[in-house]
Amino acid sequence: MPGGRLAGRAAERAELTDLLDGIRSGAGRVLALRGEPGVGKSALLRHAAQHAAPAKVLRATGAEPETNLAFAALHQLLRPVAGLTDALPGPQRDAVRGALGLAAPPAVQDRFLVAAGVLSLLAEAGRPHGLLCVIDDFHWVDRASADALLFAARRLDTDGVGLLIATRDTPDTRYALRDLPERRLTGLDVADAAGALAAWAAVEPSPRVAALIAEATGGNPLALREIAELLTAGQLTGHEPLPDPLPLGEGVTAVYGGRLAALPTGTRRVLLAAALDGRGDPRVVLAAAARLGAPEHALEPAEAAGLVAAGPAAITFRHPLIRSAVHAAASPADRRAAHEALAAVLGAAGDADRRAGHLAAAAIGPDEEIAAALAAAADRARARGGHADAADALTRAAQLTPDPAARARRLTDAAVAAWLGGRPGQAHSALAAAGETATDPGLLAELAQLRGRFALNSGDAAEALRILLAAADQAPDRLELLADAAEAAAYVGDTDATVRVGRRAEALSEPQPPGSADAFVRDVLAGSGALQGGDPERGVPLLRRALAAVPDDAGEAATLLWAAAAASLLGEGDAAAAYGARAGAVARVSGMAGTLPVVLENAATAERMNSRFALSAALSTEGLALAREAGISNSAAAHLANLAVCAAVRGQEDACRTHARQALAIAIPHRLGLRVGVASYALGVLDLGLGRFAQAHERLTALADAGPGAGHPVVVWGSVADRVEAAVAVGDEAAARTAVAFLERWSAHADSARSRALLARCRALVAEDDTAVSLLHEALGHLAGDSGAAYDQARTALLLGERLRRARRVGEARGHLRQAMEVFQRLAAEPWERRARGELRAAGESVDRPAPDALAALTPQELRIARLVAQGASNREVAAQLFLSPRTVEYHLYKVYPKLGISSRAELTRLLR
C-alpha cells in the first residue's frame, strides 16, 4: 500500500510481529512476501521497519536498471554497516570488501565465500538487539546480491537477524525462494477495501460503491487508492454512475498514462532519466535530463502530481508501477537518447560499469567499443565474485561484438562465468552459441573441454568421457584434457578408458622440471593406466614416484585428490583417507568454496574410512547443501551415496534407503558408476548388518559384476570384506574364495598396515578354524594403534570372538567380543553392537547396554564445529571454514560443552583427540 495507514492485513501483521519478536530474542527469521504489483507488499515492509525497534533496520530495493550490476543491491543494504567488516574472519572480510568495492578483491573470488562473509557481517550488525533486513522488489535484485542473501537466509540460525523480502510472483522468484517461508498476498476483502477507500477518498463511499470497486480492482490497495483519487464525490457516494469500465485499462499502470501525458515534455524527460537510472541519484538524473534539454525545475510538476518524491539523496517514484509507466510511455528513440545521456554523465563521474550498461541499452547494432566496455565490466564483476552478473554482461557483449572470433571468445567466457555463478542452463546455452561461431582449434578444444566438464558435474558422465576423449584426440598434447578424461573415466568406472588415457599421458614428453605439477599428474595418469591395464611393473613405480612428490605441506586440493586416487589404486586405503581429509582442510582454508562440494566428497569418504561416521555424515550433509545450491547434481549424488553408507553402518534403515534411492535416481541415468556402486554398497552393508545375509550376498555380488556406469573397481575393492562375509554366511564358498583372490591381486603392491590387515581378515573367513584364528590375530596386530581403523578392528575382533566361541574357547572369546561391542557402541554402529552383545551373552557373560557415547548426542553442525575447535581453530577460523558467522559458532560451541560434560576448549581437545 503506497503510504498512509496500513488497511486490514491482520494476519500478515501478526506474522510480522512474530518475526520481529524472534529477531529480538536472538533467533534467525526469514519471510518472503509475494504478490502482484500494488497489492501492499511495500506497505507491509514499511510497517515491519517502523515496529522493529530496538532492532536495527537495513534496507535495499531492487532496481531494474541494476539487475545486471553485480552486488548493487548488497552495496545498498550493507553500506551503513560496512565499518564492521574488520570483525569478520580474514577470508570473509577480504571477500566482502572486494565485493562491495571497498578494497581490491582477492586474486580468486568465490561467490560462496562472499555469501559467508555477508552472513557474518549481518550477524555482527545484529548485536545486541537484532537486525531486520528489508529487501523490496527482490525480482529486480542483481544475481550476485540475490545469491549472497539467499545463502545467508538459509543459514540464519541464532544470529538475531531477520530477512524480509517482497517480490512479484514470477517463475524465477518462485524457484529462487522455493525453500523459504513465504506469505502470498492477495487483494483486500470487501470490508478492508471499503476502509481503504474511506481513508483515501474525499468523501466516504457508499457500501454499494465500495463493494463494486473492491470487486473491480480485486481489492488491490494501489488500485483502490488511485480510483479513490480519480472518482468524483458524486460517483463515490452513488449519486452519479461509476465509469464503465473503471479507469484501470490493462492494469494499474494505465491510471498513470493520463497523468504522464499531461506533464510538460521536460518533466517527462527527467522522469525517464530517473526511471532508467534506477538508483534515483539526483546529480546523475538531473545532469542527464539537462543533456536531454529539460529545464532546471522540470521535476517540480511531477512532484506536485504526487508521482515522485525528490530529496538530496534520491529521487524516488511513489510506486514502482509509476516508473514502469514512464518507461512504457517513452518511445524507443527517447529511451536510447536517455541511456546515452546517462552514459555520458556516468562516464564523466568514472562509473565505468553503469556507463557500459547504458551504452549497451542504447546500442542498435554491433559495436566493438561498447562490447569491450561490457566485457571489462564483466571482468570487474568476476573479480568480486559476481559470476552470474558477469555472465549476463558477457552474453550482451557477445551480441554486440562484430568479429565472430571475438564473439566466440566472449560467449565461452560467459559460459564459464554462468557455471561458476550456479546457472548451468545459461552456461550450456552460451557454450552452444560459442560453438556456432568458433573456428580456432585452441578455442574449439577449450569448448569441448568445457562441455565435458559441465557434463561431468551435472550430466551424463559417460557422455562427458566421450567428449573429453574426442577433444584429446584433436589436441593430443594437452595434459589437462587427459586429466579431465581420466576423472570422467573414474566417475563412470570405465577401466578400458583409464588404460587408454594412461597410454596417451605416458606418450607425452616428460614435463620439466621433474616433480612439477604437470609431471605429477602425468605420473598418476600413466601409472593408473598401466596398473589397471595389467602391467604393474610399469604402473606401480610411476604411482610411487607421484606419491613421493607430494610434499607434506601440499597446498593444492587437486594435488591431494590425485594422490588419494593413486593410493586407492595401490590398495592403500589408509593413505587415500589421509590425502582426502587433507584436501578438505586445504580447500576450506584457501577459500575454494566453489569447488568445495566436490572436495568434500573425498573428505567425507576419508572420514568414513577412518571410522568417523558421524563426522563423515556431517561433511556430506554440508557438501550436499552446497552442491544443490551450486547446481552440481553429480556431486549431490556422491554425498547422498556416502550418507547412505553412514546410515547403513549405524542401522538407520529408512535414512539409508532414502539416501540411496535419491543417489541412484541421479547416478543411474548419469552413468556414474562410482556413485551407483557406493549407493548399492550401502544397501548391501545395511542387509549384512541386519543379518539379511542372502540379500547382502545378492547385492554385493551384483556390485562386483557391474560394468561401467553401474559399478566401479574401487568400490569392488572397498566392499570385498563385506562380500566375503556375506558369501560365507550363505555357504557360497566359491564366491568367497573368488573375492579373496581378487583382493590378493589388488593388494599385491600395497604397502600399508590396513591393506595387510584386510587381506588377513578375508583369508581368515575362508580358512579352517585354527588357521582363521591365527589370521584374525594377525589382522588385529596390523591394526593395533591405528585409531582410524576402529571400525575394522571391531569387525575383526567380532569375527575372532565368534570363531573362538564356536571352538568352545569362550574365555578367550569374551575379551574380543567385549572390545568389539564397546567400539561399535562408541561409533553408534547399532546393528553390529547388537550382534556383538548377542555373541557375548552366548559366551556366558551378562551384558548391560553401555551408556551412550556423548559424541552421539551432537548434531552434525555441532560435531563439525567441535572437531575444528579441537584442532586448534578459533571461532573466527571455524566460521570461515564452515561458512557460518562467528556468533553462530559461539552459540553451537556453548551447546556442545554441556552435552559432552566439559567446560573448556582444552577439555574438548583432549576428548576428541
Burial environment of residue 313 by CB neighbours within 10 A (0 to 12, 13 to 18, 19 or more): exposed
pLDDT for 1 equals 39
| Span 404-458, pLDDT tens digits | 999 999 999 999 998 888 788 888 899 999 999 999 988 999 999 999 999 998 8
pLDDT at 812 over 50: yes
What residues are paired with 167 via a beta bridge?
34
Query: For residue 282, what is its C-alpha cell?
Result: 539526483
pLDDT for 5 equals 52
Cis check for the bond before 2: say yes or no (omega within 30 of 0): no
pLDDT at 499 over 90: yes
CATH of 10-184, one of 2.40.50.140, 3.30.470.20, 3.40.50.2300, 3.40.50.300: 3.40.50.300
The C-alpha atoms of residue 461 and residue 468 are separated, in whole angstroms, by: 10
pLDDT for 736 equals 95
Instruction: Please state, for a pLDDT cut of 90, what percent of the chain lies above it.
Output: 52
Query: For residue 13, what is its C-alpha cell?
Result: 501483521
pLDDT for 4 equals 45
Torsion sign across C-alpha atoms 707, 709, 710, 714: positive
Q: Which of 584-593, 633-642, 706-715 has the lowest mean pLDDT?
A: 584-593
Type of residue numbered 871 = Q
pLDDT for 249 equals 43
Instruction: Name the residue with higher pLDDT: 903 or 264.
Output: 264
Q: For residue 857, what is the DSSP state?
A: G
Which residue's entry shows cell 574380543? 816
- DSSP secondary structure string for all residues of 510-543: PPSSTTSHHHHHHHHHHHHHHHHTT-HHHHHHHH
pLDDT at 588 over 70: no
Confidence band (pLDDT; 50, 70, 90) for 636? Answer: very high
Taking residues 557-575, what's their average pLDDT?
A: 88
Cα torsion at 666, 668, 673, 676 (round to 10°)?
70
Q: For residue 243, what is the DSSP state?
A: P
Instruction: Name the residue with higher pLDDT: 594 or 601.
Output: 601
Taking residues 481-490, what's their average pLDDT?
A: 93
3-state per-residue secondary structure call for 113-131: HHHHHHHHHHHHHCCCCCE
Closest CA to 310 of 321, 299, 326, 323: 299
**Fold observed for domain 858-912:** Arc Repressor Mutant, subunit A (1.10.10)
pLDDT for 34 equals 93
pLDDT for 849 equals 63
Confidence band (pLDDT; 50, 70, 90) for 306? Answer: confident
Taking residues 321-331, what's their average pLDDT?
A: 84
pLDDT for 880 equals 76
Taking residues 586-600, what's their average pLDDT?
A: 69
CATH of 441-548, one of 1.25.40.10, 2.40.50.100, 3.30.43.10, 3.40.1190.20: 1.25.40.10
Taking residues 697-714, what's their average pLDDT?
A: 91
CA atoms within 13 A on the CB side of 164: 28
Using an 8 Å Cβ cutoff, are 267 and 259 in contact?
A: no
The C-alpha atoms of residue 613 and residue 634 are separated, in whole angstroms, by: 22
Confidence band (pLDDT; 50, 70, 90) for 470? Answer: very high
pLDDT at 393 over 60: yes
Taking residues 237-257, what's their average pLDDT?
A: 64
Torsion sign across C-alpha atoms 427, 430, 431, 432: positive
Is 699 in a helix, a strand, or coil?
A: helix
Cα torsion at 538, 540, 542, 548 (round to 10°)?
-160
Backbone angles phi, psi at 712, to 5 degrees: -160, 135
Confidence band (pLDDT; 50, 70, 90) for 773? Answer: very high
What residues are paired with 32 via a beta bridge?
165, 182
According to DSSP, the β-strands at 315-317 and 308-310 are antiparallel
Taking residues 247-275, what's their average pLDDT?
A: 78
What does the mean pLDDT of the chain come to? 88
Query: For residue 46, what is its C-alpha cell?
Result: 514499511
pLDDT for 469 equals 93
Taking residues 278-298, what's their average pLDDT?
A: 92
Confidence band (pLDDT; 50, 70, 90) for 146? Answer: very high
The C-alpha atoms of residue 913 and residue 867 are separated, in whole angstroms, by: 9
Tell me the CA distances in angstroms from 912 to 122, 588, 905, 907, one per residue in order. 32, 20, 11, 9
pLDDT for 231 equals 83
Closest CA to 252 of 169, 318, 334, 185: 318
Taking residues 662-672, what's their average pLDDT?
A: 96
The C-alpha atoms of residue 217 and residue 225 are separated, in whole angstroms, by: 10
Q: For residue 852, what is the DSSP state?
A: P
Query: For residue 48, what is its C-alpha cell?
Result: 515491519
Output the pTM of the full model.
0.82
Question: CATH says 624-855 is which class?
Answer: mainly alpha
The continuous run of DSSP H or E covering 284 comes out as helix 282-291
Taking residues 303-331, what's their average pLDDT?
A: 86
Tell me the CA distances in angstroms from 798 to 155, 561, 864, one per residue in order. 42, 33, 30
The C-alpha atoms of residue 700 and residue 719 are separated, in whole angstroms, by: 8
pLDDT at 2 over 50: no
pLDDT at 526 over 70: yes
